[in-house]
Structure 1
């Protein structure tokens, strides 16, 4: 947990409008599974966290996690434990402390079907982490379809402010403003530390405290880096999936329709992209054997040569998509004055397998502006506004 967070006087920021008389409670379920050797079994830990978040709860959790870490044999890139969350909220800063502990100890978070995780609990949920190995941490935040994760703006405990300022109205206003600013700063920094879109936090801070944002649509899952689990809606036609992937990949610069997706054969797709590479090479006046080789391959009708050169260029770092299935070219994207297309390859059998590249006219091939989440890449195949987890 960052030292700056522990320096706050907590207990004045609350994120709970749902009555919850239960106190914060942690139960542990550990199951042994065979390891690499009989003497070193692996243990899967599940923490069930319920009740209201209150001051001191983070300290209790830290003691438990330190003990688990000291006696657990870990697998690479696997979390120390999974925390099942079910709580209506409570103390905001205590929720942040719990979230930081999930990141520090590499604890995945999960909200089960039928459970709710609101307010401070929702903030703790964002700390779910599978691994902190470089270059970037790998988040692990899962919501079973039917579970509810909801966020809203925080409120101040006016009683604490009044007691501190002894009824002085001017001092009370100043103190309340200072506490509100400190709470907003804590949220923004927390989002930055966990790799959550700062725009999402900004959206919360301008909303009335009694209005809620739930993780229900595809876009909301992507915004908070969460994955759905269970009975997700069926995917649409492949050309529509191609458009959805490209709309996500362009970062919302513009939105294409299904009619703007043109199917391509594997040969057409590879040849088209190699032609773009050749034009880019020619535009910068590059000389060398590669230029002649590429021109010769494109002039031939030998598919084996096309495949070979395509693979070699991909291995050499050129932004060419992996040919994993059906190919589509999606047109109609603009970046300022530049026109662009998106070429995407989709596996028809595995929703997590696809690859894509932007083709910017007059510039060449470009990496996408946004990448699918590593734990659930199939989210890119849905339209951003599609509801994946309907609110109860």
Structure 2
């Protein structure tokens, strides 16, 4: 999961939690503030009643047009002072039971005790609470959305150098002359990362260049002594020598031939990696495959292989030399690892080439199949570079190789 995506999800979760908590806290605070305001209003009514009694020495008349509901009840002993209650009463003006705030206290006038009850409905307060809460929720929600959008834009911009650097490293190929173009940033941590990546890619490219030059030089230098040794062994084999000497020479001659093939294959891989086959043409694959089939036909007849060929027109942009090597290695691999009385089936259509053949009764190792010097069976005739060359040609030619094994058939598919 991407770090930015994780951060956004975490940010959204935190914002939602903050939104819920803020709304709950706002609701209770607003409700408490308004309740206190109503209690203050009841105390102001009490003060008015007290003032009236002090001025006129009697209870005031109840005005039904006031919002407060005031009642006086004769009592024999004083009660609690300023007792506030939340009660539910049927309010005629509202027409339903409603929550109210009630203030109860004891009043002494003309030697008599009266319990005064002042009730104020919370209808207007409830509407005001909902209104304020709605405004608060909308404000908080807009703030959260604005914060989220700003964070997303800022964080995306902040992490842009990181993702650009990762993209450059992903596109970096050690055998490519392209130097990664890392972004310039003012963030110290990213600068440290970019500096490390620059050092790593530069060192990798330089080490690869040195190794490639060594391989090329070594392969060229080895080829000449091998040719000389092989020619000398040819002369010795043709001479009249004892049988045991002849056998030893033939063994040495076979080893030299194998070493020469390995050297030639490594040189070919190096040339492919060095892009020495850059010239591409629009090649008709059907014609090239038909020519290779004719070349292998006698070998297949000697091994009594059943051949089925189904070819359609297919045009591929590729180096003709590499195509020749590719087809030769694919058909050679299908022939070399086949058994007498087996089969080879070749199918070509507009977007893929499929070569299926009989062979060993188990699947090859798909993970190591195209690795250099991979050999499923320790066969002295096989140097393990054929499939590696095929893989290298496919990479530089835009071909996708695939292998699968089913019902005793080894199937190589090349999509283009």
TM-score range, shorter chain: under 0.3
Higher RCO (C-alpha under 8 Å, 6+ residues apart): 1
TM norm structure 1: 0.22
TM norm structure 2: 0.21
Q: Which structure has the highest helix share of the two?
A: 2
